Chains A and B, each alone.
Chain A
C-alpha cells in the first residue's frame, strides 16, 4: 500500500501502520511459499480486499471511538465539578439556604407583581383592534366633572351627526331583581342599544345577539354569570324574569365584553328610541369604534365642534362638553400609579436581595481562597474554575427560581385577595408571560453571580502580576462596605415609602367625614317597577313606595338592638346624582353648578351621626300633603348664600316647585376624603319618595352590626318577599374599601420595607463580623494597651454608623425624587414631610446598631492573650 494512496483518503496513521503490518506479514508468508515480491504483493492485496477502503472504515470507527472517549471525559469533568459544587453547598448549608431564601422570596415577589402589572398595564384589551374603541363621556365645565354618562338624546346626536366612527352605541347600567329558575335574586343588568355588539366586534359566546326585529323581551346572560349559576349548561330558550317582566334567553355575552361594560349579569335591549330619548338624566354610557386608532384626534375635534353646536341648540346642554377617551386608557388610568409604585418597590427589594447575595458570595469566596489556590495548583484551568462558578451560580439561581415560582404562585393568589377589584378585574395566574419574565430576570442574575468569583480572581491575578501581594482582604472588605451602603440606601427609600403610605392610610381612615361609621350597617333593596310603579305623572303620590318605606322603617325601629334606622337613596360614601337648582326670590351665584341630591328619611341623620349646623332636623310627621322641606349642607349654604342666611330661603329642583330650607347639616364626605365635600341638598323620602332602585336601608346597632343583618332581612321579607337585597356591608367596611388602593400599596411596601430593613441589618452584621475577625489582633493590642471593653464596643458600633450613614443620606435624597410617584396616593401629609424622612433615618440607623450589637459584643469579649498569640 503505497503512501501516495494514503493522501486524499485521510487514514489514521495508526490504522495505516496496522494494515501495513498485516500486508507485510502476508507478503512474507506468500514469498516463503514461493511467490516473488511483486506477485506476493498483488496476492496479498487481493486477499485483503481494498486496503484503502478498509483503512478508511477503520479510521472512521477509530475516530468515533475517540469522540466517545472525549465525551465521556467531558461528562466526567462536569460530574466532578457538580460534585465539588454540591460539596461546597454541603459544607456551608447556611449560606446556601440564606441565598436561596433571599433570592427566591425577592424574585417571587417581583414575579407576582409583574403578573399584576402585566395584566393591568401591558396587555391590550381582549377586543379586536382594541385601540379603536373609545368612550364618549360628557363633562361639566361648571362642576369640573370629567367623565359623566350622557343623556340618551345626546347619544343619538353623537351617533347621527358624526363621521369619525365605524359604529356608535350606548348602554345603561342598572340593578334589578331577576328570577331564573329559582327564587328572586339581585343582578347587575345592562340595557344595550342594538348596535353595541358591533362596537365590541365580538361574537356571542353562545346563541346570538339582539336584532332590531326582536322586540323587548329577549335577554343575554353574561359568561361569568352563566358559568357561575349554570356551570355552562345550555340555557338558550329559558325564561328569565327581569324586573318582573319575562324575557327569553337568546345568547351568552363573551367575557371579553366586560372590559368595556364592567361586570354585569344580564343584558336586555334598551327600549330607548330617538323619540323617547331625553337629555336628562345622564345615564347613557356611549361607546364607539373609531375608523382607525389614529383617528382619535380628528374624532375629538369633530365631537368638540358638535358639542358646541348642541350647547347652542338646547339649553339642557349648557356647559357640557365631551371627552373622547380610549377604553384602554380608562382601564389603565387610575390604576397605573399604584401598580408602578408597588412594582418599583419590588424591584428595589430584588436589588437589595441581589446585593445581599453578592455580599455573601464574596465573603464565601474569600474563605475559599486557599482551596481554590490548591485547585489551581493541581491544574484546574481558569475555564474549569469559571465553569464551576457558573454551575454554582446556576444552582443558586435555579433553586431560587424554583422557590420563586412557588412564592409567586402563592403571592399571586394573595394579591388576588388583597387587590381591590378596581385594580384587576380578571383572574391573575402564573402564566407563560409571567414565568418568562421570571426567567428573564434569573438569567442575568446567574451571569452576575457567576462573574463574582471570576472578577475577584482577575483582580487578584492583576495585583499579583503588578508585583503587589494580594490585598484581597482589604479591597474585598471595601467592596462589601459599598454593598451595605447601597442596601441601606435602598432600604431607606422603601422605608420612606412605607411610612408615607402608612400615615396616609391612617389619615384617610380618620379623616373628618361628617358622619360616623361605627356600628352602622347598610343594605340595598331593589323594589322593582312592577310592584312599585313609579309613574312621574302622579309623583309624589307613589302609594306603594311610600307605604313600603313607612312599614319597613316602623318594623326595623322596633327590632331590639337597633338604636336608629333610616333610608336613603345613597349611603354616605356614595357620591350619587346631581341636580341643577334654582333659588326662589334670588338667583344661583355664577360658577355654581349642580348640587348633589340625596333623598333620606328623617331618621337617617341620627343613624349616621350627622351634625346640625343651623336650623332643625326634618320633621318626622311630614308627608306628601305637607309643605316641602329641604336640608342643605354647609358647603351649599356657603356657596348659594354667601352673604346671608340660608334658613328660611327656598330652593327649587326637578321642576316641582320650591321647598323651604329648614336646616343646615355638616358636610358629609360622600365624594371621598380626598376632595372637598360637594354642595348637597337633602329631601324627605316621605315627601319625595324614591324614584329608582336601589333604596338603601341603614341601621345603627347596639352590638355588632353584622349580627343584625338576618333580622333586617327578615323585616324586609316579611313585608315583601319579592324584594331583592344586596350589597350588605357595615360602614366601617365601606370606609376600608374606599381606601383599598392606598391600603394595598401601603401593605405591600411595608412588607418590603421590613424585609429590606432586615437584610440591611444582616448586611451590617456580616461586614462588621468580618471586620472584627480580621482585626482581632489589633483589638487585642488595644485592650492590652488599656482600652476598656465598652470603648471597644463603641468603636465597633460607630463603625456601623459610618457604614450606613452615607447610605441613609443617599437613600433620603433618592426618596425625595421617588416619592413623587406617590403623589396621587398620599393624603394628609406632603411627600416631603421631614418627620417621615427623619423617622426613616432613625429606624435604619437603629437597624444598623442592632446589626452591630453582636459583633460589638464579640469584639469587646476578645481575649487579648489569645488574639496576640494566634497569627491573624
Chain B
C-alpha cells in the first residue's frame, strides 16, 4: 500500500488535493477519493476517514458548495463543486505548494 496522507499531517495539503480534484466539475466523495488516487498516478491515496470531515469543512468555509444529486449508478449522493472563492484559494495555495516543492527539490537535487 502506498503511504497515505492522513488528516493529522499536511491537513492543508488534503484540502488542496480535494479542491484540485473538483476543479473540473462536481464529484461525490467516493469519486474524489478515486480521482486523487488516479491523478496522482497511484502515489497518493486518502484516508477516507479524513476526507469527509475535510469536505464538510470546505463546504462550511465556502470553498466548496454541495448539492444532492444522482450518482452514475442511480443512487442519491452528495456532489461537491468548487466555488469562485475556492478557485482563488486553490490557485494561491497550489502556487505556494509548488514553490515549496521546488525549493525542496533544489536542495535534494544539489546533493545529486
Contacts and interface: CB of A to CB of B under 8 A. Distances in A.
Interface residues of B, number: 21
B53 A65 contact: no
A65 B56 contact: yes
Given A26-B30, A64-B60, A65-B59, A18 B52 contact: yes
A19 B52 contact: yes
A14 B69 CA distance: 12
Contacts of B28: 18, 21-22
Q: For chain B, what secondary structure do more than half of its interface residues adopt (helix, strand, loop), or is it mixed?
A: helix
A50 B60 contact: no
Given A18-B78, A26-B30, A65-B59, A57 B48 contact: no
A659 B29 CA distance: 123
B60 A68 contact: yes
Nearest to A49: B49
A17 B78 CA distance: 9
Contacts of A47: 48
A803 to B, nearest CB: 61
Given A48-B48, A54-B53, A58-B53, A18 B29 contact: yes
Contacts of B57: 61
Q: For chain A, what secondary structure do more than half of its interface residues adopt (helix, strand, loop), or is it mixed?
A: helix
Interface in B23-62: 28-30, 33, 47-50, 52-53, 55-57, 59-60
A21 B56 contact: no
B92 interface: no
Nearest to B77: A21
A208 interface: no
B76 interface: yes
A50 B47 CA distance: 11
B59 A49 contact: no
B48 A49 contact: yes
A206 B30 CA distance: 83
Contacts of A54: 49, 52-53
Contacts of B47: 49
A14 B49 contact: no
Nearest to A59: B56
Interface string A61-105: 110110010000000000000000000000000000000000000
A19 to B, nearest CB: 7
B78 A25 contact: no
A17 B53 CA distance: 14
A9 interface: no
Contacts, number: 60
A54 to B, nearest CB: 5
Nearest to A47: B48
Interface in A245-280: none
A51 B59 CA distance: 20
Given A17-B76, A49-B47, A49-B50, A58 B56 contact: yes
Measured as residues with beta carbon below 8 angstroms from the partner, the interface class of chain A is: 20 to 34
A54 B48 CA distance: 9
Contacts of A15: 52, 56
Nearest to B57: A61
Contact of B56 (A25, A50, A53, A62): A62
A51 B51 CA distance: 12
A12 B75 CA distance: 19
B30 A21 contact: yes
A47 B29 CA distance: 14
B53 A21 contact: no
B53 A57 contact: yes
A557 B68 CA distance: 111
Given A18-B78, A21-B75, A26-B30, A48 B56 contact: no
Nearest to B59: A65
B53 A22 contact: no
A61 B30 CA distance: 19
A734 B28 CA distance: 95
A31 to B, nearest CB: 14
B49 A48 contact: yes
Contacts of B68: 14
Contacts of B75: 21, 24
A606 B54 CA distance: 105
Contact of B48 (A21, A22, A53): A22
Interface string A200-220: 000000000000000000000
A172 B77 CA distance: 98
A26 B37 CA distance: 14
A48 B45 CA distance: 12
A61 B49 contact: no
Interface string A34-65: 00000000000001111101100110011011
Interface in A368-392: none
B55 to A, nearest CB: 8
Interface string A843-859: 00000000000000000
B78 A14 contact: yes
A65 B60 CA distance: 5
Nearest to B31: A25
A499 B50 CA distance: 85
Nearest to A18: B78
A50 B77 contact: no
Nearest to B60: A65
A258 B28 CA distance: 84
Contacts of B60: 61-62, 64-65, 68
B49 A21 contact: no
Contacts of A21: 28-30, 71, 75-78
A22 B50 contact: no
Contact of A58 (B30, B33, B52, B76): B52
A668 to B, nearest CB: 90
Contacts of A18: 28-29, 52, 77-78
28 contacts: A15-B52, A15-B56, A18-B29, A18-B52, A18-B77, A21-B28, A21-B29, A21-B30, A21-B71, A21-B75, A21-B76, A21-B77, A21-B78, A22-B28, A22-B48, A24-B75, A25-B30, A26-B30, A48-B49, A49-B47, A49-B49, A49-B50, A57-B52, A58-B55, A61-B60, A62-B56, A62-B60, A65-B59
Given A14-B68, A49-B47, A68-B60, 10 more contacts: A15-B52, A15-B56, A17-B78, A21-B71, A21-B75, A22-B29, A26-B48, A49-B48, A49-B50, A51-B49
Closest 9 CB pairs of A and B: A49-B49, A65-B60, A61-B56, A25-B30, A48-B48, A57-B53, A58-B56, A22-B30, A54-B49
